[in-house]
Amino acid sequence: MNIIIVGCGKVGHTLAQQLGGENHDIVVVDKNPERVHGITDELDAQGIIGNGVSYQTLQEAGVEKADLLIAVTASDEQNLLCCCIARQAGHCKTIARVRNPIYNEEITFLRDKLGLDLVINPELITANEIARIFQFPSAVKIDTFSKGRLELIHFRVTKECLLCGIELMHLKESLGFNVLIPLVTRGEEIIIPRGNFVFEEGDIASVVTTPQTATMFFRKIGFTSGRTRTAMLVGGGTISYYLAQRLLSAGINTKIVEIDENVCNELSEKLPDAVVIHGDGTDEKLLLQEGLEKADGFVALTGLDEENILLSLLAKKLGNSKSVCKINRINFNSLLGEIKVDTTVFPRLLTADLIIKYARSMNDSLGSNVENLYRLEDGKAEALEFFVKEASGVTDIPLAKLKMKKDINICSITRGSQVIFPTGNDVIKVGDYVVVVMKHLGMKDIKDILL
């Protein structure tokens, strides 16, 4: 496809990198020559220096032949206007990044009246991700499928954990019920485990489960920590606002520490049920005074990655809280794995995943839709959910007889209200939702799993 990306900041750069890897033709647009050249010198992309809300600039970028335009400038208003002009100038699909909470309350109106195909709010997406993680404090990350009926929960295997030292084939008899673990990360290695795989301390294992059985699974393997009751957030930005809304609505006592007095006053007005503290979130004495040692959850949401990492480590040292660390830059990830930060969230990667999912689903000629997509372990693996639209080489044949590519796991089949954790005797039918975890990247159709 021909894709135009307007805005060459962090998110724009990530999108150009990942969509370019999907074999699309990319054109980036920005008023800043350094940002444009930073992408075109590194990636296989064409660059246009100019204002993305200018009709002339969009014409130069090829809007009349474009299939998709993504507006991710720093201004919500520019993003919306850019998409409106693109809709009038060409026939492309449009995606706008809209971050302001005021606009978030009017998303349906904006999307319908302005003809937007997708509106993305990275801060809200990130807040939702963190809120899901707090539902299961033992989890490193939670990906949801089948409209919330299915979850892929990633967790770290500890020395005391039931899994440590046992073979995968014996897991069912140890638990007393069946679960599927389709992916394990061990250091830099990504493993699609088979029956003789032995779990080791430090592995990041991914389990496919329903929300109803997830609690029982974690209790069985020895993770007994209950639900989050209290949470402390350091940093009072937009993510904190959205996250506090979610936590408060779930009955979680929420405290926000913010250094800017004006921001504190604004948060106090918008979130009357939250406790807002005006102070320096990097002050250890202040955090202890405000109850860090007793908090069940801790989230570092300052504007500096370094501060967030150190705060997360401090929270682990001083208390027993589940700590979550927001990271804006990606090049820290290998270090984070070594220093055992509980959970890291990358807003721009979450945003990129949604847009890549949308881009893959645009091809109507395929026999299935990409309903959900999650990049796993720095993009080395993917979890995809397909909706099977028509009969093909994968339907109505027992899974054991399918000639599939290596390193692919069919994790679940959702048929109506029934969730099936498949065995070799199960079949995929038209109308099913199928979740697949794989080391292969870029699959757009369920038939791509076949040799």
329 and 400, same structural domain? no
**Which of 192, 220, 248 represents a domain boundary (last residue)?**
220
* 67-93 pLDDT per residue, tens: 999 999 999 999 999 999 999 998 899
68 and 174, same structural domain? no
Can you give the pLDDT at residue 339?
65
Report whether 78 contacts 53 (CB < 8 A). yes
Q: Which two tokens stand for residue 236?
A: 């009072």
* 389-416 pLDDT per residue, tens: 999 999 999 999 999 999 999 999 999 9
Flag whether 253 is in a domain.
Answer: yes
16 and 105, same structural domain? yes
Flag whether 266 is in a domain.
Answer: yes
Can you give the pLDDT at residue 25?
94
Can you give the pLDDT at residue 101?
86
415 and 341, same structural domain? no
250 and 189, same structural domain? no
Q: Which two tokens stand for residue 377?
A: 């372990």
pTM value is 0.86
Can you give the pLDDT at residue 271?
96
378 and 322, same structural domain? no
3-state secondary structure 257-304: EECCHHHHHHHHHHCCCCEEEECCCCCHHHHHHCCHHHCCEEEECCCC
Which CATH number goes with the domain that contains 146? Answer: 3.30.70.1450
85 and 56, same structural domain? yes
Which CATH number goes with the domain that contains 291? Answer: 3.40.50.720
Flag whether 308 is in a domain.
Answer: yes
Flag whether 356 is in a domain.
Answer: no
The parent domain of residue 269 ranges over: 230-345
State the CB neighbour count (10 A cutoff) for residue 389.
15
**Which of 345, 373, 405 represents a domain boundary (last residue)?**
345
CA–CA–CA angle 363, 369, 372 (5° rounding): 115
239 and 216, same structural domain? no
234 and 182, same structural domain? no
Report whether 45 contacts 39 (CB < 8 A). yes
Flag whether 133 is in a domain.
Answer: no
**Which residue ranges in the chain fall short of pLDDT 50?**
none
430 and 389, same structural domain? yes
298 and 240, same structural domain? yes
Flag whether 130 is in a domain.
Answer: no
User: b vs e for 56-72, b when ≥16 Cβ sit within 10 Å of the residue's Cβ?
Assistant: ebbeebbbeebbbbbbb
Flag whether 109 is in a domain.
Answer: yes
Q: Can you tell me the distance from the alpha carbon of 116 to that of 163, in angstroms, rounded to the nearest whole number?
A: 47
Flag whether 252 is in a domain.
Answer: yes
- What is the tally of structural domains in the chain? 4
340 and 237, same structural domain? yes
Q: Can you tell me the distance from the alpha carbon of 229 to that of 292, in angstroms, rounded to the nearest whole number?
A: 13
**Which of 194, 220, 246 represents a domain boundary (last residue)?**
220
Report whether 353 contacts 394 (CB < 8 A). no
